[in-house]
Structure 1
């Protein structure tokens, strides 16, 4: 009996890749997630400035290195499928994603993990990467050769404030003293 494997549609593919990237716990997991998302031949702009693939990888890794996890919230995703009629273009196109990633650090202050929030507006072009070799059917499962070849991101990364736990106000009882009387 054969089972048809259904790959995620274009917007879900981008969301899954971003979640996997920010959720990576080890350098190896991060590298695998990054390589499964970003093509080797890619054009990247961050906050309006061109950046190399390696520099972008170091920048993203720097946001999450040493952290215990992240929670990604997508505030909006819009996609336009490729108009190419070639069957290899299925599941490709352009995606815009607006998300916040709260990244939790290992340092605990007042019982709370230190954290920062990455706010991002990311636009990507996804293609079936022709430089990748497909696995043979039945060996290693379905192969998804989709990769980002053009990425334009506007983002900020800000430390979140840590609020100390509630402390009761100083005591409001007053002590009155009476002057000593002289007799």
Structure 2
């Protein structure tokens, strides 16, 4: 009997993309909070447009923008990754647009160029699936938020 199928854990890039999508596509405050907390470390350092932002304020700002959300989508223009020598810290750069349509049929857009510092834990295998614990410990983001008009 052979070694079985090779388990390929998600990459930091795919994890980052999936996490950002989960945050913007969450339809309840509970699912949004779960997605946000799974992505950002409790002690994350956040800088947006050159200003330091507390984690709680950043979380509240994103939720406020999507609280009346009818639908949302995320389009990634480019995502890159650079590993540290020990592979415990990874830099992920993502350029993306998030569009949020509210119940008044206004489409609002977040355009973001984000640099995430991701700390990776050890690789763990659960029920035949491998997973690596990851959290963003620093975010440096340049962001433009545009309120839309009726679609």
On whether the aligned pair clears a TM of 0.5, the verdict is yes
Q: Structure 1 residues 122, 20: CA separation in 2 closer, same or farther (over 3 Å shift)? A: same
Q: CA deviation at 1:136?
A: 8.2
Q: Could you say which structure has the greater relative contact order, defined with CA pairs below 8 angstroms and 6 or more residues apart? A: 2
**C-alpha distance in 1 between matches for 2:107 and 2:15:** 26
**Residue in 2 that maps onto 1:103:** 100
> Which is greater in Rg?
1
Of 99, 118, 121 in structure 2, the residue corresponding to residue 126 of structure 1 is: 118
Q: Is the partner of 2:100 in helix, strand or coil?
A: strand
**C-alpha distance in 2 between matches for 1:153 and 1:60:** 13
**C-alpha distance in 2 between matches for 1:57 and 1:70:** 17
**Structure 2: which 5+ residue stretches go unaligned?**
none
Q: Structure 1 residues 144, 135: CA separation in 2 closer, same or farther (over 3 Å shift)? A: closer
**C-alpha distance in 2 between matches for 1:118 and 1:24:** 16
Q: CA deviation at 1:2?
A: 7.1
**Structure 1: which 5+ residue stretches go unaligned?**
108-112, 164-183
Q: Indicate the structure with greater strand content.
A: 2
- TM-score if structure 2 supplies the norm length? 0.87
**Residue in 2 that maps onto 1:149:** 137
**What is the correspondence of 1:162-181 to structure 2 with a 5 Å cutoff?**
162=150
Q: CA deviation at 1:62?
A: 1.2
Alignment: residue pair count: 149
Q: Structure 1 residues 39, 84: CA separation in 2 closer, same or farther (over 3 Å shift)? A: same
Q: CA RMSD in A?
A: 2.3
Pair 1:54 & 2:42 matched: no
